[in-house]
Structure 1
Amino acid sequence: MRVGIIGCGVVGAAIAFELSQTHQVTVWDAREEHQWQATGAALGVLMAATTLKLKGKHLLLRLESLKLYETLIPELEAITQTSLPYNRQGILRLCFDGDELQRWYKTQQVRSKQGFRLDILDREQLVQAYPHLWAAHLQESNLPVVGAIYSPQDRQVDPVALSAALITAAQKRGATFYFNTPVAEFRSLPEQDPPCLTHICTEAESYPVDWVIVAAGLGSMPLTTTLNQTVPIYPVLGQGLHLRRQTPLAEPMPVVNGDQVHIVPINASEVWVGATVEFPVEVGAAVEADPAQMYELHQRGIALDESLAHASILRTWSGLRPRPHERPAPIIERLPGYDNVVVASGHYRNGVLLAPITAQKVRQLISN
């Protein structure tokens, strides 16, 4: 079966890898090969167990996708013969409210039944295990840390390295990728009801397909509009920093989360700090990076880890996340009105985490 995938960020790449096992896969992306856009701006934090939510469809997607990573990473490393930056040290969520810390005990019991371990640390245990966090506090109110929740099974992965490995592995299975190649139009059989797309057309060529997967992030909305079934997805901007500590940490460290900030260890000295959540003034409008929010993010990171106060800034970046309008993220479904079109997009802040489970859901949709 011939499957055409439009969009090759981390989600499109994961779908290509999954389907290339059994199908003839072709992928088109309008961007240059090394311009990663939303994927390149992501932190790659795979936070699934570390949430107070006890149930719900989205929670189950997160937990299922996290489990898939434990076999996906070794598989990709074996196929590509490369080592992927995959942090297995877990996630440490700092807590600044005693009542909230107590609520985690119920979540701890539920997670245990779901197959995930959570450790609840009081302040003394936290400081003993992670002495560099002894002064952690909320940046605005100065409330000191009272404890933490440690999830040893949550993970972090470099999104660009992961996406590149997925592409390479899919190519080894026979998938074809066209970058800097926007899709111009679609062709269908006009007499068929519901319509069935037969060709994906670029400016240079027309390609026959049996299925079309739209996984183009913010580019998904104009593509579905072309098919007269607009799926509204709008941008939300995020900014981040890459810092280098003056004094390296001795041990491998988990991702630290608190006060809406992730501190992501890259090596003993360097970390990513992110990310802001910046909405446009009105729906559909452009959104520009706000320097004040970047400054605030930096200060909140320093409040959690004082060793970052004198860290040098190696680079800053920003990127646009695709967020569905007036409906939950992500969108993984057949496009209404079409017999062979699937939309897998609008993952918002969880594209990296949900990429493996999205690929499996897409496989199920086209198999059914």
Structure 2
Amino acid sequence: MGAGIVGTATSWHLSRLGHAVLLLDPCLASAVPKASSQRRLNGSTASLGVLMGHAFRRSSGRGWRLRQLSMALWPSWVSQLDHPTSPLSLQTPLAQLAASEEEAERMRQLAQARQGRGLRFLDEPALPPAPTPWPRPGHGALLSEQDGRVDPLGLMRALRRAFDAQGGTMQATTAQRLERSGAGCEGRWRVITADGDPLRVDAVVICSALGSSQLIEPLGHHRPMGAVLGQVLDLKLPNPQSSWKDWPAVLTCGGVNLIPHGDQQLWLGATVEPGTVADSSHVFAMKTLNKLAPPWLKDAECIGQWQGLRARPQDRPAPLLEHLEPGLILASGHYRNGVLLAPASAEWVGQQIDSSILTGS
């Protein structure tokens, strides 16, 4: 349930393991858009697709392990999903600008500890003299050769195509409630859809972000999640002679991601705003890179803007990867890392289902 990137990626992975998979989501009634526009989007279609695995500050814990597994899987996933009708590629590298000398020192230490993972620190004189200069807080940058981004809309198209080619089934409807089947009934679960169809299935995987809680709450599983809004700007540079030569795929400055695309264009995002109501003051802070923006960025013209909602678990770390009871699996609440963690989440779900088949639980 849920055809965002995590749900669609999990469906494709399960179908590759030989399972018969039905993917449910009303969004399947329409094609994936070619590009984002000025409207409210879900977390997946609003995402910038940033993959920050190796430059992640922590070096232990579940979050670190999930990031490392996903980064190990992404090259093979992209290779398998790339297709003439839905091309896909990994765009690298990723660079983080240090906002202070203290942050620069932490970056130096991280680069030293992870040289084998493609990290290195660039002192200020070593920053490339690009035709369109990077913002320069003046403390150097951490460069991660293997981190970067994947186009989330291209990824969605590739996943849908591959899932369909694998024999998966997609149904544009909503799951309204879940019911446990009685003993001796075919299928462990009944899924009641908005169409009124009672579907009998052996396992249910819930990847419905903010809609997940309402499906599991009646079954006695309390996993509340809150909405966190993010805004993204599409900017047009004022100088026709500007160039993205020597720019990384993703440049992070002042907590904001700058992603070059197209002719003289730049995506800027994303804000972190609890709730569902956008605040224009956050957009101003983002465009000024929290007072670190160069003049050319301040003069850029905004030609597009969109908002997205992420699901953030309350009182629990993101994401929620839980086998709640036999045949009921929750893979949701990825917050800002749905694209990054999609491969690792799909692998985890596959292991849970295969294990339940072997044990009969």
Q: TM-score, normalised by structure 2?
A: 0.88
Deviations 1:58-103 (A, max 9, x none): 012112212211111121014x643225422x11100122232222
Runs of at least 5 residues in structure 2 that lack an aligned partner in the other structure: 34-40, 356-361
Aligned equivalents of 1:105 and 1:55: distance in 2? 19
Q: Return closer, same or farther for 1:268/1:71 CA change in 2, 3 Å cut-off.
A: farther
Q: Which residue in 1 is equivalent to 2:253?
A: 258
Q: Which residue in 1 is equivalent to 2:97?
A: 94
Aligned equivalents of 2:224 and 2:272: distance in 1? 19
Q: Which residue in 1 is equivalent to 2:358?
A: none
For the pair 1:267 / 2:268, whether they are aligned, the reply is: no
For the pair 1:119 / 2:120, whether they are aligned, the reply is: yes
Q: How does 1:129-140 map to 2 (within 5 A)?
A: 129-130=129-130, 132-133=132-133, 136=136
| Other structure's SS at 1:264 match | strand
Q: Quote the RMSD (CA, aligned, Å).
A: 2.1
Q: Match of 1:101, as an amino acid?
A: A
2:189 to 181, 198, 202: 198
Deviations 1:187-234 (A, max 9, x none): 323359xxx833222133222211100000111011111322132111
Q: Match of 1:356, as an amino acid?
A: P
On the 8 A contact 1:244/1:313 being kept in 2, the answer is yes
Q: Which residue in 1 is equivalent to 2:174?
A: 182
For the pair 1:361 / 2:345, whether they are aligned, the reply is: no
| Other structure's SS at 2:303 match | strand
On the 8 A contact 2:178/2:215 being kept in 1, the answer is no
Q: TM-score, normalised by structure 1?
A: 0.86
Aligned equivalents of 2:135 and 2:217: distance in 1? 51
For the pair 1:49 / 2:54, whether they are aligned, the reply is: yes
Q: How far is the alpha carbon of 1:44 from its aligned partner?
A: 0.7
| Other structure's SS at 1:7 match | coil
Q: Match of 1:95, as an amino acid?
A: A
Q: Which residue in 2 is equivalent to 1:37?
A: 42
Q: Which residue in 1 is equivalent to 2:323?
A: 334
Deviations 1:98-118 (A, max 9, x none): 232222233223323xx4111
Aligned equivalents of 1:315 and 1:298: distance in 2? 13
1:109 to 108, 112, 118: 112
Q: Match of 1:28, as an amino acid?
A: L
Query: How many residue pairs were aligned?
Result: 339
Q: Which residue in 1 is equivalent to 2:141?
A: 148
Q: Which residue in 2 is equivalent to 1:237?
A: 229
On the 8 A contact 1:197/1:341 being kept in 2, the answer is no
Q: How does 1:214-233 map to 2 (within 5 A)?
A: 214-233=206-225
Q: Return closer, same or farther for 1:105/1:308 CA change in 2, 3 Å cut-off.
A: closer
On the 8 A contact 1:16/1:167 being kept in 2, the answer is no
Q: How far is the alpha carbon of 1:39 from its aligned partner?
A: 0.8
Aligned equivalents of 2:129 and 2:294: distance in 1? 14
On the 8 A contact 1:241/1:315 being kept in 2, the answer is yes
Aligned equivalents of 1:252 and 1:164: distance in 2? 29
Q: Which residue in 1 is equivalent to 2:69?
A: 64
Q: Which residue in 1 is equivalent to 2:22?
A: 26
| Other structure's SS at 2:352 match | helix
On the 8 A contact 2:210/2:226 being kept in 1, the answer is yes
Aligned equivalents of 2:251 and 2:327: distance in 1? 42
Aligned equivalents of 1:129 and 1:367: distance in 2? 52
Q: Return closer, same or farther for 1:71/1:301 CA change in 2, 3 Å cut-off.
A: farther
1:14 to 2, 9, 18: 9
Moved more, 210-219 or 227-236: 227-236
Moved more, 315-324 or 303-312: 303-312
Aligned equivalents of 2:135 and 2:298: distance in 1? 12
| Other structure's SS at 1:362 match | helix
| Other structure's SS at 2:277 match | coil
Q: How far is the alpha carbon of 1:171 from its aligned partner?
A: 0.5
Q: Which residue in 1 is equivalent to 2:37?
A: none
On the 8 A contact 2:86/2:157 being kept in 1, the answer is no
Q: Identity over the aligned pairs, expressed in percent?
A: 32
1:83 to 83, 87, 111: 87
Q: Return closer, same or farther for 1:159/1:182 CA change in 2, 3 Å cut-off.
A: same
On the 8 A contact 2:54/2:68 being kept in 1, the answer is yes
| Other structure's SS at 2:73 match | helix
Deviations 1:111-170 (A, max 9, x none): 23xx411111111101x354644653xxxxxxx321001001002111121012111100
Aligned equivalents of 1:304 and 1:197: distance in 2? 56
4+ long deviations beyond 4 Å: none
Q: Which residue in 1 is equivalent to 2:36?
A: none
| Other structure's SS at 2:141 match | strand
Aligned equivalents of 1:147 and 1:268: distance in 2? 27
On the 8 A contact 1:54/1:107 being kept in 2, the answer is no
